[in-house]
């Protein structure tokens, strides 16, 4: 059974026994708008990219050979900054992927210094990731690894990739195995690499390349984040613990929200003023219900800075006081602090 869900401005299909599927639907955005679920980052030097939704002639993948290409909304990188070591990336910021298969169509349109298009994947930050790219000027299809900002030797063949023509690129990761295809053909042998086990996915270009992307799909195995795994472990360890939530600002945002919870439906919910105050003032708040109590405490990094807030909900008992509620909640948060030492670890 397949259950479609509208997820922001993307289309998500949850398929039993097959993991999950995300389709990037750029038709939902206004022309000249940058897709909201994405974040622009820059690897290397130069100016950031200029990622916009535009109209272009692009036949649907399911269209027959005789059907003319119709104009529809696609994603484009439009900046022509010719800095050599410049790699604009448009990062999908809603999910970190471990095992997945990504398929996208791309069209290389222009560029004097470079004419490239590709995808970055298992990206940890701007200096650590894999990428797969096609080059029309260089007539090549190559895989690279970037570790601490240093690029590996290229892997992949010389192959003609005509400009102004739509092509299909796919990359599949299963554990440390990486499979790369161009137009349905595995033109690079299966790769084995242990550098990155999971990370973000994004569209990639180089230098002054003007490139378009369309019909992007990711089929993946949903991954439990370290923060969500930590909540599960705390619930198992403390039987009187009724609920647990972690509040922080997600990557690329300054707005506090639930980033992990014992109730998955809470994830993404905005934080209230109490939670904001806990982080801002390093304060502790207490609340009492009919059969439970809640304590909201700051979560500190290894330097003692408040990086998040944790709301602990516990079963109440006769004679419950604020003092002993805090005493019960504090060891739970201290255990969490011992496991998550930096904001980067928390938001991974």
Q: For 235-285, what is each residue's pLDDT tens digit?
A: 999 988 999 999 999 877 788 999 999 998 888 888 999 999 999 999 999
> pTM of whole model > 0.75?
no
Strands, E, within 240-332: which ranges? 241-248, 257-261, 285-288, 292-300, 306-315
Given a cut of 80, whether residue 12 has pLDDT beyond it is: no
Question: Which has more confidence, 199 or 14?
Answer: 199
Going 154 to 91 to 219 to 115, the CA torsion angle's sign is: negative
Counts of helices then strands in the chain (DSSP H, E): 4, 22
**pLDDT at residue 10 is higher than 90:** no
Question: What's the pLDDT tens digit per position in 169-215?
Answer: 999 999 999 999 999 999 999 999 999 999 999 999 999 999 999 99
Average pLDDT over residues 147-171: 97
Domains and CATH numbers, the chain: 2-220 (2.60.120.560), 226-347 (3.30.450.40)
Question: Looking at per-residue confidence, does 296 or 65 come out higher?
Answer: 296
What pLDDT, on the 0 to 100 scale, is given for residue 16? 37
Q: What is the pLDDT confidence band of residue 67, given thresholds at 50, 70 and 90? A: low
- Quick one: DSSP state of residue 27? G
DSSP conformation letters of 97-159: ESSEEEEEEEEEEE-SS--EEEEEEEEEETTEEEEEEEETTTTEEEEEEEETTEEPPPBS-B-
Mean predicted lDDT score pLDDT of the chain: 90
Chain segment 36-61, per-residue pLDDT in tens = 889 999 999 999 999 999 999 886 66
Whether 181 contacts 169, CB under 8 Å: yes
Count of beta carbons in the 10 Å neighbourhood of residue 10: 22
DSSP assignment, residue 270? Answer: B
Is 334's pLDDT higher than 80? yes
| CB-based contact 123:90 (threshold 8 Å) | no
Res. 337: pLDDT tops 50: yes
Please state, in angstroms and rounded to a whole number, the distance separating the CA atoms of residues 39 and 211. 17
């Amino acid at each position: 059974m397949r259950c479609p869900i509208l997820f922001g401005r993307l289309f998500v299909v949850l398929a039993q026994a097959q993991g999950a599927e995300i389709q990037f639907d750029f038709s939902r955005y206004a022309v000249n708008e940058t897709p909201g679920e994405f974040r622009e980052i820059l690897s290397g030097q130069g100016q950031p990219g200029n990622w916009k939704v535009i109209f272009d002639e692009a036949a649907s993948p399911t269209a027959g050979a005789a059907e003319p290409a119709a104009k529809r909304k696609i994603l484009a990188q439009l900046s022509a900054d010719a800095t050599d070591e410049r790699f604009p990336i448009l990062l999908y910021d809603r999910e970190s992927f471990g095992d997945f298969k990504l398929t996208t169509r791309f069209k290389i349109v222009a560029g004097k210094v470079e004419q490239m298009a590709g995808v970055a994947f298992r990206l940890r930050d701007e200096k650590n990731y894999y990428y797969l790219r096609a080059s029309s000027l260089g007539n090549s299809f190559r895989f690279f690894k970037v570790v601490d900002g240093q690029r590996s030797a290229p892997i992949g063949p010389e192959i003609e990739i005509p400009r102004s023509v739509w092509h299909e690129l796919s990359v599949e990761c299963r554990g440390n195995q990486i499979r790369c295809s161009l137009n349905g053909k595995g033109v690079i042998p299966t790769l084995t690499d242990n550098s990155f086990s999971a990370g973000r996915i994004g569209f990639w270009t180089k230098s002054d390349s003007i490139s378009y992307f369309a019909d992007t799909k990711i089929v993946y195995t949903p991954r439990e984040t370290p923060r969500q795994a930590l909540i599960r472990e705390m619930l198992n360890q403390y039987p009187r613990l009724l609920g647990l939530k972690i509040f922080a600002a997600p990557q690329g945002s300054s707005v506090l929200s639930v980033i992990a919870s014992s109730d998955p439906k809470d994830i993404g919910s905005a934080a209230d003023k109490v939670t904001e105050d806990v982080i801002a003032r390093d304060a502790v708040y207490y609340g009492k219900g009919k059969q439970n109590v809640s304590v909201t405490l700051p979560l500190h990094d290894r330097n003692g800075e408040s990086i998040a807030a944790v709301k602990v909900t516990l079963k109440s008992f006769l004679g419950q006081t604020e003092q002993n509620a805090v005493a019960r909640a504090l060891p739970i948060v201290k255990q969490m602090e011992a496991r998550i030492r930096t904001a980067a670890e928390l938001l991974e």
